[in-house]
């Protein structure tokens, strides 16, 4: 049976690492992006270099109709989607009183609404076939909160609730839903914090380093594999011991 994965926000960083790792594990991959077309094509090239098929589809995950069309295009090019990795997200720092309505609504629309839109688009076929796997990407800040990241932390806490609730609802249809909560991962998204802050965060991590995108990709690939066939509704925290 063909294995087709759809990874949102897969042009760079954690998403790209997930796409490549899934290809290494035998998945064909649809790479979603919103802005970085060239980077998405390069990620697709890396997937194909591993002997798997790849499709590149632009869509803003906050737009439900665009997501539905993305899924239709992925299935035309690769076949039925049996794995969704909801990785697309935005982050930023601001004090609570400085969070504008526009910022608040955009964070909710992308980080939480995007996961909802993507799952909704693939779910009818998964339910019909009584098979499928969903892996959502949350954050340690969704578990413990973070000063000056209220909007982001709220959306990531929502992702955890979405994961647990959907796992209970979809279990009878043999659809597994799990979540990975990354710690501080060395990507472009965290580089804006500055090197001094990153060194401090690494120092606060019991394993003494920042995570890599590949660390998260390995966790996702495990949850998507048959080795995790009896695991659902779980949050796998990959943070080097930052939250214990």
Whose tokens are 């920042």? That residue is 210
String of DSSP letters for 125-151: HHHHHT-EEEEEE--HHHHH--TT-HH
Pairwise CA distance, residues 229 & 222, whole Å: 10
CB count, 10 Å around CB of 201? Answer: 17
DSSP 213-243: HHHHHHHHHHHHSGGGTT--S-EEEESTTS-
Whether 48 and 171 have beta carbons less than 8 Å apart is answered as: no
**Residue 152 is a catalytic residue:** yes
Q: Is 234 exposed, middle or buried (0-12, 13-18, 19+ CB in 10 A)?
A: middle
Among residues 152, 157, 163, 217, the one annotated as catalytic is 152
- Specify whether the CB–CB gap between 147 and 153 falls below 8 A: no
* Residues with catalytic function: 152
């Amino acid at each position: 049976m063909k294995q087709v994965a759809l990874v949102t926000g897969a042009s760079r960083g954690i998403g790209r690492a997930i796409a490549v790792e899934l290809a290494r594990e035998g998945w064909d991959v649809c790479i979603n992006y919103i802005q970085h077309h060239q980077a998405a094509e390069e990620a697709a090239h890396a997937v194909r270099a591993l002997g798997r098929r790849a499709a590149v589809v632009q869509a803003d995950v906050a737009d439900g109709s665009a997501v539905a069309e993305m899924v239709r295009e992925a299935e035309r090019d690769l076949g039925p989607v049996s794995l969704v990795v909801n990785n697309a997200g935005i982050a930023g720092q601001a004090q609570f009183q400085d969070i504008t309505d526009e910022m608040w609504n955009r964070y909710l629309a992308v980080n939480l609404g995007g996961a909802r839109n993507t799952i909704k688009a693939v779910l009818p076929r998964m339910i019909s076939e009584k098979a499928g796997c969903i892996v959502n990407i949350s954050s340690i800040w969704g578990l413990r909160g973070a000063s000056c990241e209220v909007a982001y932390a709220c959306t990531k806490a929502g992702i955890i609730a979405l994961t647990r609730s959907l796992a209970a609802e979809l279990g009878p249809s043999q659809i597994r839903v799990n979540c990975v909560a990354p710690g501080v991962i060395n990507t472009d998204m965290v580089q804006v914090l500055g090197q001094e802050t990153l060194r401090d965060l690494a120092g606060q991590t019991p394993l003494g380093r920042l995570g890599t995108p590949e660390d998260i990709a390995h966790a996702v690939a495990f949850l998507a594999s048959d080795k995790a066939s009896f695991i659902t509704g779980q949050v796998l925290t990959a943070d080097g011991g930052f939250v214990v």
